[in-house]
Amino acid sequence: MKKVPHRIYLSEEQMPKQWYNLRADMKEQPDPMLNPATMKPIEEADLYPIFCRELAHQEMDAQTRYVDIPEEVQEFYKMYRPSPLIRAYNLERALGTPARIYYKFEGNNTSGSHKLNSAVAQAYYAKQEGLEGLTTETGAGQWGTALAEACSFFHLPLTVYMVKVSYEQKPFRKAVIETFDGKVIPSPSNTTEAGRRILAENPNTGGSLGCAISEAVEKAVTTPGHRYVLGSVLNQVLLHQSIIGLESKAAMELVDEYPDVIIGCAGGGSNLGGLIAPFMQDKLLGKANPRIVAVEPASCPSLTRGRYAYDFCDTGRITPLARMYTLGCGFMPSANHAGGLRYHGMSPILSKLYHDGYMEAVSVEQSKVFEAAVQFAKEETILPAPESAHAIRAAIDEALKCKESGEAKTILFGLTGTGYFDMTAYNAYLSGQMIDYIPSDEELQKGFDQLPNVPEAR
Protein backbone atom coordinates (compact mmCIF):
# COMPACT_ATOMS: atom_id res chain seq x y z
CA MET A 1 0.00 0.00 0.00
CA LYS A 2 1.20 3.52 -0.81
CA LYS A 3 2.42 5.76 2.01
CA VAL A 4 -0.67 7.79 2.79
CA PRO A 5 -0.03 11.52 3.28
CA HIS A 6 -1.54 13.19 6.34
CA ARG A 7 -3.80 15.35 4.22
CA ILE A 8 -5.31 14.18 0.97
CA TYR A 9 -6.64 16.87 -1.34
CA LEU A 10 -8.37 16.39 -4.65
CA SER A 11 -7.26 18.72 -7.41
CA GLU A 12 -9.82 21.14 -8.82
CA GLU A 13 -10.20 18.84 -11.81
CA GLN A 14 -10.96 15.90 -9.52
CA MET A 15 -13.71 17.75 -7.65
CA PRO A 16 -17.24 16.41 -8.19
CA LYS A 17 -19.26 18.30 -10.81
CA GLN A 18 -22.53 16.67 -9.77
CA TRP A 19 -24.32 15.94 -6.53
CA TYR A 20 -25.59 12.43 -5.89
CA ASN A 21 -29.24 11.81 -5.06
CA LEU A 22 -29.41 8.81 -2.75
CA ARG A 23 -33.14 8.32 -3.31
CA ALA A 24 -32.52 7.25 -6.90
CA ASP A 25 -30.95 4.04 -5.64
CA MET A 26 -33.30 3.26 -2.75
CA LYS A 27 -35.49 0.27 -3.49
CA GLU A 28 -38.08 1.57 -1.05
CA GLN A 29 -38.67 5.29 -0.88
CA PRO A 30 -39.28 7.28 2.29
CA ASP A 31 -43.00 7.81 2.85
CA PRO A 32 -44.28 10.97 1.19
CA MET A 33 -44.68 14.23 3.10
CA LEU A 34 -48.31 14.91 3.97
CA ASN A 35 -50.35 18.07 4.01
CA PRO A 36 -51.55 18.17 7.64
CA ALA A 37 -54.86 19.72 6.64
CA THR A 38 -55.81 17.05 4.09
CA MET A 39 -53.45 14.20 5.04
CA LYS A 40 -52.79 13.93 1.30
CA PRO A 41 -49.24 13.61 -0.07
CA ILE A 42 -47.60 16.93 -0.79
CA GLU A 43 -46.88 17.76 -4.42
CA GLU A 44 -44.07 19.90 -5.73
CA ALA A 45 -46.29 22.94 -6.31
CA ASP A 46 -47.50 22.77 -2.69
CA LEU A 47 -43.96 23.67 -1.68
CA TYR A 48 -43.64 26.79 -3.84
CA PRO A 49 -44.87 29.17 -1.12
CA ILE A 50 -42.10 27.88 1.16
CA PHE A 51 -39.16 27.02 -1.09
CA CYS A 52 -37.95 28.50 -4.35
CA ARG A 53 -38.95 26.40 -7.34
CA GLU A 54 -35.71 24.65 -8.11
CA LEU A 55 -35.33 23.64 -4.48
CA ALA A 56 -38.94 22.47 -4.30
CA HIS A 57 -38.17 20.34 -7.33
CA GLN A 58 -35.02 18.90 -5.76
CA GLU A 59 -37.00 18.18 -2.61
CA MET A 60 -39.45 15.99 -4.49
CA ASP A 61 -37.21 14.49 -7.15
CA ALA A 62 -36.42 10.91 -6.21
CA GLN A 63 -35.50 9.87 -9.76
CA THR A 64 -32.55 11.97 -10.95
CA ARG A 65 -29.47 10.11 -9.77
CA TYR A 66 -26.89 12.85 -10.46
CA VAL A 67 -27.69 16.57 -10.42
CA ASP A 68 -25.32 19.04 -12.08
CA ILE A 69 -23.80 21.50 -9.63
CA PRO A 70 -24.35 24.98 -11.15
CA GLU A 71 -21.14 26.63 -12.39
CA GLU A 72 -21.52 29.51 -9.91
CA VAL A 73 -21.83 27.07 -7.02
CA GLN A 74 -18.81 25.12 -8.25
CA GLU A 75 -16.86 28.37 -8.36
CA PHE A 76 -17.90 29.19 -4.81
CA TYR A 77 -16.96 25.68 -3.67
CA LYS A 78 -13.47 26.24 -5.04
CA MET A 79 -12.88 28.98 -2.50
CA TYR A 80 -12.92 26.49 0.37
CA ARG A 81 -13.06 23.06 -1.21
CA PRO A 82 -11.93 20.37 -1.70
CA SER A 83 -11.90 19.91 2.03
CA PRO A 84 -9.06 17.73 3.23
CA LEU A 85 -9.41 14.04 3.98
CA ILE A 86 -7.02 13.62 6.89
CA ARG A 87 -5.30 10.50 8.11
CA ALA A 88 -5.30 10.76 11.92
CA TYR A 89 -1.81 9.36 12.38
CA ASN A 90 -1.28 11.06 15.73
CA LEU A 91 -4.63 10.01 17.15
CA GLU A 92 -3.97 6.43 15.99
CA ARG A 93 -0.60 6.44 17.73
CA ALA A 94 -2.03 7.92 20.94
CA LEU A 95 -4.73 5.24 20.99
CA GLY A 96 -2.28 2.47 20.10
CA THR A 97 -4.79 1.10 17.65
CA PRO A 98 -4.11 -0.95 14.52
CA ALA A 99 -7.08 0.82 12.91
CA ARG A 100 -6.50 3.39 10.21
CA ILE A 101 -8.55 6.46 11.02
CA TYR A 102 -9.52 9.01 8.37
CA TYR A 103 -11.63 12.09 8.82
CA LYS A 104 -13.16 14.45 6.34
CA PHE A 105 -12.68 17.94 7.77
CA GLU A 106 -15.36 20.44 6.80
CA GLY A 107 -14.40 23.25 9.18
CA ASN A 108 -12.03 25.22 6.93
CA ASN A 109 -14.37 28.05 6.13
CA THR A 110 -15.74 30.91 8.17
CA SER A 111 -19.06 29.22 8.88
CA GLY A 112 -16.86 26.65 10.59
CA SER A 113 -18.77 23.69 9.23
CA HIS A 114 -20.11 21.69 6.31
CA LYS A 115 -23.28 23.81 6.30
CA LEU A 116 -21.86 26.13 3.67
CA ASN A 117 -22.12 23.34 1.07
CA SER A 118 -25.90 23.58 1.02
CA ALA A 119 -26.14 27.27 1.95
CA VAL A 120 -24.41 28.38 -1.23
CA ALA A 121 -26.63 26.16 -3.36
CA GLN A 122 -29.81 27.42 -1.73
CA ALA A 123 -28.77 31.08 -1.88
CA TYR A 124 -27.78 30.66 -5.52
CA TYR A 125 -31.13 29.18 -6.60
CA ALA A 126 -33.03 31.84 -4.64
CA LYS A 127 -31.06 34.61 -6.32
CA GLN A 128 -31.58 32.99 -9.72
CA GLU A 129 -35.32 33.06 -9.16
CA GLY A 130 -35.16 36.75 -8.30
CA LEU A 131 -36.23 36.47 -4.67
CA GLU A 132 -35.92 39.48 -2.38
CA GLY A 133 -34.90 37.74 0.81
CA LEU A 134 -34.58 34.53 2.78
CA THR A 135 -35.42 33.47 6.30
CA THR A 136 -33.95 30.62 8.26
CA GLU A 137 -33.28 29.33 11.74
CA THR A 138 -29.99 28.35 13.35
CA GLY A 139 -29.16 26.23 16.36
CA ALA A 140 -25.45 26.15 17.04
CA GLY A 141 -25.09 29.08 14.67
CA GLN A 142 -23.16 27.23 12.02
CA TRP A 143 -26.02 27.14 9.55
CA GLY A 144 -26.87 30.77 10.17
CA THR A 145 -23.28 31.77 9.60
CA ALA A 146 -23.02 29.67 6.47
CA LEU A 147 -26.20 31.08 5.00
CA ALA A 148 -25.18 34.63 5.89
CA GLU A 149 -21.90 34.07 4.06
CA ALA A 150 -23.70 32.72 1.02
CA CYS A 151 -26.41 35.40 1.00
CA SER A 152 -23.86 38.15 1.40
CA PHE A 153 -21.94 36.75 -1.57
CA PHE A 154 -25.08 36.75 -3.73
CA HIS A 155 -26.42 40.02 -2.24
CA LEU A 156 -29.61 38.56 -0.79
CA PRO A 157 -31.08 39.90 2.49
CA LEU A 158 -31.33 37.30 5.25
CA THR A 159 -33.18 37.01 8.57
CA VAL A 160 -31.95 34.35 11.00
CA TYR A 161 -34.01 33.04 13.92
CA MET A 162 -31.39 31.81 16.36
CA VAL A 163 -32.34 29.33 19.10
CA LYS A 164 -32.32 31.48 22.23
CA VAL A 165 -30.01 29.25 24.25
CA SER A 166 -27.41 29.45 21.47
CA TYR A 167 -27.98 33.18 21.06
CA GLU A 168 -27.08 33.58 24.72
CA GLN A 169 -24.23 31.05 24.83
CA LYS A 170 -22.66 32.29 21.63
CA PRO A 171 -22.77 36.09 21.32
CA PHE A 172 -19.85 35.99 18.91
CA ARG A 173 -21.71 33.71 16.53
CA LYS A 174 -24.30 36.43 16.24
CA ALA A 175 -21.53 38.94 15.53
CA VAL A 176 -20.19 36.79 12.70
CA ILE A 177 -23.63 36.52 11.12
CA GLU A 178 -23.99 40.29 11.41
CA THR A 179 -20.59 40.77 9.81
CA PHE A 180 -22.14 39.12 6.77
CA ASP A 181 -25.16 41.44 6.99
CA GLY A 182 -27.52 38.79 8.41
CA LYS A 183 -30.26 40.00 10.77
CA VAL A 184 -30.37 37.84 13.92
CA ILE A 185 -33.48 37.38 16.10
CA PRO A 186 -33.47 35.17 19.21
CA SER A 187 -36.19 32.51 19.04
CA PRO A 188 -38.83 32.25 20.31
CA SER A 189 -39.52 35.89 19.55
CA ASN A 190 -42.55 38.11 19.37
CA THR A 191 -42.05 38.76 15.65
CA THR A 192 -44.27 35.79 14.69
CA GLU A 193 -47.52 34.15 15.76
CA ALA A 194 -45.67 30.90 16.40
CA GLY A 195 -43.10 32.60 18.60
CA ARG A 196 -45.70 34.52 20.57
CA ARG A 197 -47.68 31.32 21.19
CA ILE A 198 -44.63 29.44 22.45
CA LEU A 199 -43.56 32.34 24.65
CA ALA A 200 -47.04 32.55 26.14
CA GLU A 201 -46.90 28.87 27.10
CA ASN A 202 -43.32 28.93 28.36
CA PRO A 203 -41.82 32.41 28.78
CA ASN A 204 -38.44 31.09 30.00
CA THR A 205 -37.82 28.53 27.27
CA GLY A 206 -34.36 28.39 25.76
CA GLY A 207 -36.00 27.61 22.45
CA SER A 208 -35.35 24.74 20.08
CA LEU A 209 -34.61 24.20 16.44
CA GLY A 210 -38.19 23.08 15.90
CA CYS A 211 -39.53 26.32 17.32
CA ALA A 212 -37.10 28.49 15.38
CA ILE A 213 -38.16 26.69 12.20
CA SER A 214 -41.80 27.61 12.88
CA GLU A 215 -40.90 31.25 13.17
CA ALA A 216 -38.68 31.32 10.09
CA VAL A 217 -41.28 29.54 7.95
CA GLU A 218 -44.07 31.82 9.12
CA LYS A 219 -41.97 34.90 8.41
CA ALA A 220 -41.12 33.67 4.91
CA VAL A 221 -44.65 32.80 3.85
CA THR A 222 -46.03 36.08 5.20
CA THR A 223 -43.39 38.33 3.58
CA PRO A 224 -43.70 39.00 -0.19
CA GLY A 225 -40.73 37.81 -2.30
CA HIS A 226 -39.33 35.78 0.57
CA ARG A 227 -38.75 32.08 0.96
CA TYR A 228 -37.56 29.85 3.72
CA VAL A 229 -34.37 27.80 3.66
CA LEU A 230 -33.30 25.02 5.99
CA GLY A 231 -29.84 23.61 6.69
CA SER A 232 -30.69 20.03 7.46
CA VAL A 233 -33.36 17.32 7.44
CA LEU A 234 -34.56 18.07 3.90
CA ASN A 235 -33.89 15.87 0.91
CA GLN A 236 -32.41 18.82 -1.01
CA VAL A 237 -29.90 19.40 1.78
CA LEU A 238 -28.75 15.79 1.70
CA LEU A 239 -28.37 16.15 -2.06
CA HIS A 240 -26.09 19.18 -1.72
CA GLN A 241 -24.14 17.64 1.14
CA SER A 242 -23.35 14.57 -0.95
CA ILE A 243 -20.30 16.57 -2.02
CA ILE A 244 -18.75 15.53 1.32
CA GLY A 245 -19.09 11.84 0.64
CA LEU A 246 -18.23 12.08 -3.05
CA GLU A 247 -15.00 13.91 -2.25
CA SER A 248 -14.22 11.51 0.59
CA LYS A 249 -14.68 8.47 -1.59
CA ALA A 250 -12.57 9.93 -4.41
CA ALA A 251 -9.82 10.90 -1.96
CA MET A 252 -9.81 7.44 -0.38
CA GLU A 253 -9.54 5.90 -3.83
CA LEU A 254 -6.39 7.98 -4.40
CA VAL A 255 -4.76 6.07 -1.53
CA ASP A 256 -6.38 2.72 -2.30
CA GLU A 257 -8.62 2.75 0.75
CA TYR A 258 -12.26 1.94 1.36
CA PRO A 259 -13.85 2.37 4.78
CA ASP A 260 -15.02 -0.59 6.84
CA VAL A 261 -16.93 1.76 9.13
CA ILE A 262 -18.32 5.23 8.39
CA ILE A 263 -19.29 7.39 11.34
CA GLY A 264 -21.13 10.69 11.41
CA CYS A 265 -22.87 12.82 14.00
CA ALA A 266 -26.59 13.10 13.48
CA GLY A 267 -28.81 16.04 14.35
CA GLY A 268 -31.10 16.57 11.38
CA GLY A 269 -28.87 14.40 9.22
CA SER A 270 -27.22 16.87 6.84
CA ASN A 271 -23.66 15.83 7.53
CA LEU A 272 -24.34 12.14 7.98
CA GLY A 273 -26.49 11.95 4.87
CA GLY A 274 -23.85 13.74 2.82
CA LEU A 275 -20.90 11.81 4.14
CA ILE A 276 -22.40 8.38 3.63
CA ALA A 277 -24.16 9.02 0.31
CA PRO A 278 -21.83 7.24 -2.15
CA PHE A 279 -20.97 4.52 0.33
CA MET A 280 -24.64 3.90 0.98
CA GLN A 281 -25.05 3.69 -2.80
CA ASP A 282 -22.49 0.87 -2.84
CA LYS A 283 -24.46 -0.80 -0.10
CA LEU A 284 -27.82 -0.37 -1.82
CA LEU A 285 -26.37 -1.71 -5.08
CA GLY A 286 -24.67 -4.63 -3.32
CA LYS A 287 -21.20 -3.46 -4.32
CA ALA A 288 -19.84 -3.13 -0.79
CA ASN A 289 -21.09 -3.50 2.73
CA PRO A 290 -19.49 -0.95 5.06
CA ARG A 291 -20.98 -0.39 8.50
CA ILE A 292 -22.60 3.02 8.78
CA VAL A 293 -23.02 4.51 12.26
CA ALA A 294 -25.06 7.57 13.25
CA VAL A 295 -24.03 9.18 16.53
CA GLU A 296 -26.51 11.27 18.46
CA PRO A 297 -26.53 12.92 21.89
CA ALA A 298 -28.05 10.90 24.71
CA SER A 299 -30.00 14.06 25.55
CA CYS A 300 -31.78 14.10 22.19
CA PRO A 301 -31.90 10.49 20.99
CA SER A 302 -34.26 10.55 18.00
CA LEU A 303 -32.90 7.44 16.26
CA THR A 304 -32.07 5.30 19.28
CA ARG A 305 -35.15 6.08 21.36
CA GLY A 306 -37.56 7.89 19.04
CA ARG A 307 -40.58 6.63 17.09
CA TYR A 308 -40.67 6.11 13.33
CA ALA A 309 -43.79 8.15 12.76
CA TYR A 310 -45.36 11.03 10.89
CA ASP A 311 -44.60 14.30 12.66
CA PHE A 312 -44.32 17.99 12.07
CA CYS A 313 -40.83 19.27 11.25
CA ASP A 314 -41.37 22.22 13.58
CA THR A 315 -42.63 22.87 17.06
CA GLY A 316 -45.29 25.29 15.87
CA ARG A 317 -46.93 22.54 13.80
CA ILE A 318 -47.15 24.56 10.61
CA THR A 319 -44.89 22.51 8.28
CA PRO A 320 -45.91 19.46 6.28
CA LEU A 321 -45.78 16.11 8.06
CA ALA A 322 -42.79 13.88 7.41
CA ARG A 323 -42.36 10.28 8.40
CA MET A 324 -39.15 10.10 10.36
CA TYR A 325 -37.61 9.06 13.63
CA THR A 326 -38.85 11.64 16.06
CA LEU A 327 -39.13 12.45 19.74
CA GLY A 328 -42.27 14.41 18.98
CA CYS A 329 -42.26 17.97 17.75
CA GLY A 330 -43.21 19.08 21.27
CA PHE A 331 -40.04 17.58 22.74
CA MET A 332 -37.88 20.32 24.24
CA PRO A 333 -34.32 19.03 24.53
CA SER A 334 -32.18 20.07 27.50
CA ALA A 335 -29.57 22.75 26.93
CA ASN A 336 -27.08 20.32 25.45
CA HIS A 337 -24.13 22.32 24.23
CA ALA A 338 -24.15 20.62 20.84
CA GLY A 339 -26.85 22.99 19.66
CA GLY A 340 -26.73 21.58 16.15
CA LEU A 341 -27.94 18.22 17.40
CA ARG A 342 -30.91 19.49 19.41
CA TYR A 343 -33.60 18.57 16.89
CA HIS A 344 -36.58 16.36 17.62
CA GLY A 345 -36.56 14.59 14.26
CA MET A 346 -34.26 13.15 11.64
CA SER A 347 -33.95 13.31 7.86
CA PRO A 348 -36.73 11.13 6.35
CA ILE A 349 -34.19 9.54 3.99
CA LEU A 350 -31.89 8.55 6.85
CA SER A 351 -34.86 7.50 8.96
CA LYS A 352 -36.02 5.15 6.22
CA LEU A 353 -32.52 3.70 5.73
CA TYR A 354 -32.16 3.20 9.47
CA HIS A 355 -35.62 1.65 9.68
CA ASP A 356 -34.70 -0.74 6.87
CA GLY A 357 -31.47 -1.81 8.58
CA TYR A 358 -28.93 -0.08 6.35
CA MET A 359 -27.35 1.79 9.22
CA GLU A 360 -26.79 1.66 12.98
CA ALA A 361 -27.17 4.37 15.60
CA VAL A 362 -25.58 4.99 18.98
CA SER A 363 -26.15 7.72 21.53
CA VAL A 364 -23.37 9.22 23.64
CA GLU A 365 -23.27 11.37 26.74
CA GLN A 366 -21.99 14.90 26.58
CA SER A 367 -19.09 14.55 29.03
CA LYS A 368 -17.74 11.55 27.12
CA VAL A 369 -18.06 13.58 23.94
CA PHE A 370 -15.97 16.43 25.33
CA GLU A 371 -13.40 13.99 26.68
CA ALA A 372 -12.96 12.77 23.11
CA ALA A 373 -12.95 16.35 21.79
CA VAL A 374 -10.08 17.40 24.05
CA GLN A 375 -8.07 14.27 23.30
CA PHE A 376 -8.58 14.81 19.59
CA ALA A 377 -7.62 18.50 19.78
CA LYS A 378 -4.37 17.67 21.53
CA GLU A 379 -3.38 15.01 19.04
CA GLU A 380 -4.65 16.47 15.77
CA THR A 381 -4.37 20.29 16.25
CA ILE A 382 -8.02 20.85 15.40
CA LEU A 383 -10.46 22.05 18.07
CA PRO A 384 -13.65 20.25 17.11
CA ALA A 385 -17.21 21.50 17.36
CA PRO A 386 -19.20 19.63 20.02
CA GLU A 387 -21.43 18.24 17.28
CA SER A 388 -18.45 16.81 15.41
CA ALA A 389 -17.04 15.45 18.64
CA HIS A 390 -19.93 13.01 18.83
CA ALA A 391 -18.46 11.31 15.77
CA ILE A 392 -14.97 11.50 17.26
CA ARG A 393 -16.22 9.75 20.41
CA ALA A 394 -17.66 6.89 18.37
CA ALA A 395 -14.59 6.70 16.11
CA ILE A 396 -12.28 6.48 19.13
CA ASP A 397 -14.46 3.78 20.67
CA GLU A 398 -14.38 1.88 17.38
CA ALA A 399 -10.59 2.22 17.18
CA LEU A 400 -10.23 0.99 20.76
CA LYS A 401 -12.32 -2.06 19.89
CA CYS A 402 -9.86 -2.69 17.06
CA LYS A 403 -7.05 -2.47 19.57
CA GLU A 404 -8.66 -5.22 21.61
CA SER A 405 -9.48 -7.42 18.67
CA GLY A 406 -6.30 -6.65 16.74
CA GLU A 407 -8.30 -5.76 13.63
CA ALA A 408 -6.78 -3.15 11.30
CA LYS A 409 -10.09 -1.65 10.23
CA THR A 410 -10.37 1.46 8.11
CA ILE A 411 -12.51 4.01 9.90
CA LEU A 412 -13.86 7.13 8.23
CA PHE A 413 -15.64 9.81 10.20
CA GLY A 414 -17.00 13.24 9.43
CA LEU A 415 -15.40 16.13 11.28
CA THR A 416 -18.11 18.61 10.50
CA GLY A 417 -16.58 21.71 12.02
CA THR A 418 -14.57 23.68 14.50
CA GLY A 419 -15.44 24.65 18.06
CA TYR A 420 -14.17 28.24 18.22
CA PHE A 421 -17.62 29.46 19.20
CA ASP A 422 -18.18 26.71 21.73
CA MET A 423 -15.70 27.75 24.39
CA THR A 424 -18.47 28.22 26.96
CA ALA A 425 -19.12 24.51 26.64
CA TYR A 426 -15.42 23.63 26.74
CA ASN A 427 -15.10 25.81 29.84
CA ALA A 428 -17.96 23.94 31.47
CA TYR A 429 -16.31 20.62 30.67
CA LEU A 430 -12.82 21.65 31.81
CA SER A 431 -14.13 23.05 35.09
CA GLY A 432 -16.13 19.89 35.80
CA GLN A 433 -19.46 21.70 35.51
CA MET A 434 -20.83 19.73 32.60
CA ILE A 435 -24.00 17.81 33.33
CA ASP A 436 -25.07 14.76 31.37
CA TYR A 437 -28.78 14.72 30.81
CA ILE A 438 -30.67 11.66 29.70
CA PRO A 439 -34.42 12.07 29.31
CA SER A 440 -36.57 9.55 31.17
CA ASP A 441 -39.00 7.24 29.39
CA GLU A 442 -41.85 9.27 30.88
CA GLU A 443 -40.44 12.46 29.43
CA LEU A 444 -40.13 10.89 26.00
CA GLN A 445 -43.65 9.48 26.28
CA LYS A 446 -44.97 13.02 26.64
CA GLY A 447 -43.41 13.86 23.30
CA PHE A 448 -44.85 10.75 21.68
CA ASP A 449 -48.31 11.53 23.06
CA GLN A 450 -48.31 14.71 21.03
CA LEU A 451 -47.54 13.03 17.72
CA PRO A 452 -50.17 13.89 15.09
CA ASN A 453 -52.69 11.21 14.43
CA VAL A 454 -51.68 9.41 11.25
CA PRO A 455 -52.87 5.93 12.20
CA GLU A 456 -51.15 3.79 9.56
CA ALA A 457 -47.77 5.13 10.52
CA ARG A 458 -47.73 5.06 14.33
User: Which residues form the interface with a second copy (CB under 8 A)?
Assistant: 5-7, 9, 11-12, 75-76, 78-80, 86, 89-90, 108-112, 116, 149, 152-153, 171-172, 175-176, 178-181, 374, 377-383, 418, 420-421, 423-424, 426-427, 430
Shortest CB 414 distance to a second copy, Å: 18
Our measurement of the distance from residue 433's CA atom to the centroid of its chain's CA atoms, rounded to an integer in Å, reads 27
Shortest CB 130 distance to a second copy, Å: 21
Residue 391: closest CA among 65, 74, 105, 33: 105
Shortest CB 254 distance to a second copy, Å: 11
Nearer to a second copy, 298 or 428 (CB): 428
Shortest CB 83 distance to a second copy, Å: 11
CA distances from 448 to 35, 221, 345, 453 (A): 20, 28, 12, 11
3-state secondary structure 254-287: HCCCCCCEEEEECCCCHHHHHHHHHHHHHHHCCC
Nearer to a second copy, 161 or 370 (CB): 370
State how far the Cα of 360 lies from the Cα of 362, in Å rounded to an integer. 7
In the three-class reduction of DSSP (H, G, I as helix; E, B as strand; rest coil), residue 78 is classed as helix
Cis preceding linkage at 297, omega within 30: no
State how far the Cα of 51 lies from the Cα of 386, in Å rounded to an integer. 30
Shortest CB 291 distance to a second copy, Å: 27
Nearer to a second copy, 179 or 190 (CB): 179
Shortest CB 175 distance to a second copy, Å: 4
Shortest CB 195 distance to a second copy, Å: 25
According to DSSP, residue 46 is labeled G
Nearer to a second copy, 179 or 202 (CB): 179
Residue 191: closest CA among 155, 148, 167, 223: 223
Shortest CB 419 distance to a second copy, Å: 9
The answer to whether residues 168 and 421 touch, using CB atoms and an 8 Å cutoff, is no
The answer to whether residues 246 and 65 touch, using CB atoms and an 8 Å cutoff, is no
Nearer to a second copy, 12 or 43 (CB): 12
With residue 291 as reference, give the H or E element that holds it: strand 291-297
> Which strands sit side by side in the sheet containing 183-187, from one edge to the other?
183-187, 158-163, 133-138, 226-228
Shortest CB 92 distance to a second copy, Å: 12
Nearer to a second copy, 179 or 405 (CB): 179
According to DSSP, residue 315 is labeled T
Nearer to a second copy, 153 or 358 (CB): 153
Nearer to a second copy, 168 or 181 (CB): 181
Nearer to a second copy, 290 or 417 (CB): 417
Nearer to a second copy, 14 or 289 (CB): 14
State how far the Cα of 167 lies from the Cα of 170, in Å rounded to an integer. 5
**205, HSE (Cβ side, Cα atoms, 13 Å):** 25
Shortest CB 171 distance to a second copy, Å: 8
Nearer to a second copy, 150 or 361 (CB): 150
Shortest CB 269 distance to a second copy, Å: 24
| Strand 7-8 versus strand 85-87 pairing type | antiparallel
- Based on DSSP, count helices (H) and strands (E) in the chain, helices before strands: 17, 15
The answer to whether residues 183 and 159 touch, using CB atoms and an 8 Å cutoff, is yes
The answer to whether residues 12 and 77 touch, using CB atoms and an 8 Å cutoff, is no
In the three-class reduction of DSSP (H, G, I as helix; E, B as strand; rest coil), residue 411 is classed as strand
